[in-house]
Structure 1
Amino acid sequence: MKFDELDVKMRVYETAQDRSVLPGMYLVARIDGRGFTKLTKETHDFEAPFDERFRDLMIETLRHLMNCGFNVIYGYTESDEISLLFDHHETAFSRKTRKLISILAGEASAKFSSLLGAVGAFDCRLSELPNKQLVEDYFRWRNEDAYRNALNAHCYWRLRQDQFSPKDATAKIQGLSIADKNELLFRYGINFNELPNWQKRGIGMYWINSEKEGFNPKTNEKVVTTRRELHTDFELPMREDYNRFIMELIEKNARNEEFSGFDREF
């Protein structure tokens, strides 16, 4: 059998299950660390419950994902996960889900591993959202998850430092209300509200325009240029303010597309 015939015969088995995200759907990818509890607490000596070295690894991995060939308007990271909001009109790889999932997981794993100097693997899943309200809800969900996880983590590890076993520490905080968990930490001299906001609410990354001053040797004059660059936000707003923040990002991106005469067909 000739190669061309064999290629046609076999390629269908790779592509038979291909599907693409429908036009008009908002697309969010969540990239999540695989086995990171063991990676960060046993294999590597990261400080619990939060370690700035690990935080910075996740930030640089997020930065890489926002620069690796996709049009991403917002990135968010908390704990060992990253969420990406794509431009509404992104058409990379014809919006094929298998390509998006495999490439994003691969890029994240490769970048994080190169930074760590050891293997760190990520998986990826996609949310296909039909309206802006659900995009708001998605990122509010992850933002609230960060808060819940941070409160539980500080309680758990403070108990562990107080000689509680893993089982006993887990049992101690299970079923406690938010107020009870805050009170538990307060008894150890920790005011949860005063902890760094990035621990409680995660970290955002988005594009801003910044002005840079330069010099034109031909005209012998100072010049100001506008550059598009990524901004890392360690002080994200909370609750309804965060919803408004996400909506403003979406609407700002839409206005920029309209201003530039954006007209793209899927």
Structure 2
Amino acid sequence: MKFEDLDARMRVYETAHDHCVLPGLHIVVRLDGKNFTRLTKQTWPFEAPFDPRFRDLMLDTVTHLMECGIGAVYGYAQSDEISLLLRQDDTTFGRKTRKLISVLAGEASAKFSLGLGGLASFDARVCQLPSQASVMDYFRWRHEDAHRNALSAHCYWLLRKRGESAQTASAALLGLSTAGKNELLFQHGINFNDLPSWQKRGVAVFWEDYQIPAVNPKTGEDVTAQRRRLTRDLDLPLGDAYNEYVRAFIS
């Protein structure tokens, strides 16, 4: 059998179930660290509940993903998860979900592992969003999830550091309201509102244009040239202001 015939016959088995995101839909890829909750508690030497070293590893990973040839325009990270917004007209890999998932999960795992100095892995999923409003809702959802998780994490680790077991600390927080959790922290000298915003709201990475002095090679005239660079934001706005913040990156 000729190779070309064998290749054509076998190729269908790996492509028959390829799914491509339809044109016009917005693509967000969300990546989550595999077993990061257990690893940060038991194996990796990070300070709980938040450690700037872990934050910076996540920021480095987001930055790498936005530079690795996929049309990402906005990256958001909170805890052990990353959300990447692609340009609406991006056609990388023909918009095949399996390629986006496998490549981005692999790139994230490799970058984080190199920075950590040990093995770490991410999984990935593709969210197909039909409108600008749904994109803003998606990021608002993850943004507010960050706030809820941060409050619970600070309460949990407050109890653990006061000698409570993992089981007792978890039981103490079960069913406790947001107001109750804030009060628990306040009773021990912690005002949740005063904590660093990156812990409560997550962090962002995005492209921005900037100008540099240049010289017109034809005329020798002094001009300015426009360049692009990635910028990190550790102080994201809240509520509706965050919706408008995200809107600026949606094509």
Partner of 1:231: 231
Alignment size in residue pairs: 251
Q: How far apart, CA to CA, are the structure 2 residues paired with 1:193 and 1:28?
A: 30
Partner of 2:48: 48
Q: How far apart, CA to CA, are the structure 1 residues paired with 2:18 and 2:120?
A: 28
**How far off is 1:195 after superposition?**
0.3
**How far off is 1:217 after superposition?**
11
Q: How far apart, CA to CA, are the structure 2 residues paired with 1:76 and 1:64?
A: 13
Q: How far apart, CA to CA, are the structure 2 residues paired with 1:215 and 1:130?
A: 44
Partner of 2:74: 74
Q: How far apart, CA to CA, are the structure 2 residues paired with 1:42 and 1:84?
A: 29
**How far off is 1:215 after superposition?**
7.5
Partner of 2:148: 148
Partner of 2:135: 135
Q: Show CA shifts across 1:128-148 (max 9, x none).
A: 011111101000000000000
Structure 1: runs of 5 or more not aligned? 255-266
Structure 2: runs of 5 or more not aligned? none
Partner of 1:193: 193
**How far off is 1:216 after superposition?**
8.6
Instruction: State yes or no: 1:184 paired with 2:188.
Output: no
TM-score normalized by structure 2? 0.95
Task: Say which is worse superposed, 4-13 or 125-134, in terms of deviation.
Answer: 4-13
Q: Is the partner of 1:106 in helix, strand or coil?
A: helix
Identity in percent: 57
Q: How far apart, CA to CA, are the structure 2 residues paired with 1:143 and 1:213?
A: 38
Q: Is the partner of 2:230 in helix, strand or coil?
A: strand
Q: How far apart, CA to CA, are the structure 2 residues paired with 1:171 and 1:241?
A: 35
Partner of 1:119: 119
Partner of 1:34: 34
Q: Show CA shifts across 1:103-146 (max 9, x none).
A: 11011011111111111100000110111111010000000000
Q: Please give the root-mean-square deviation of Cα atoms over the aligned residues, in Å.
A: 1.7
TM-score normalized by structure 1? 0.90
Q: Is the partner of 1:104 in helix, strand or coil?
A: helix
User: CA, structure 1 residues 13+220, in 2 after alignment: closer, same or farther (shift >3 Å)?
Assistant: closer
Partner of 2:83: 83
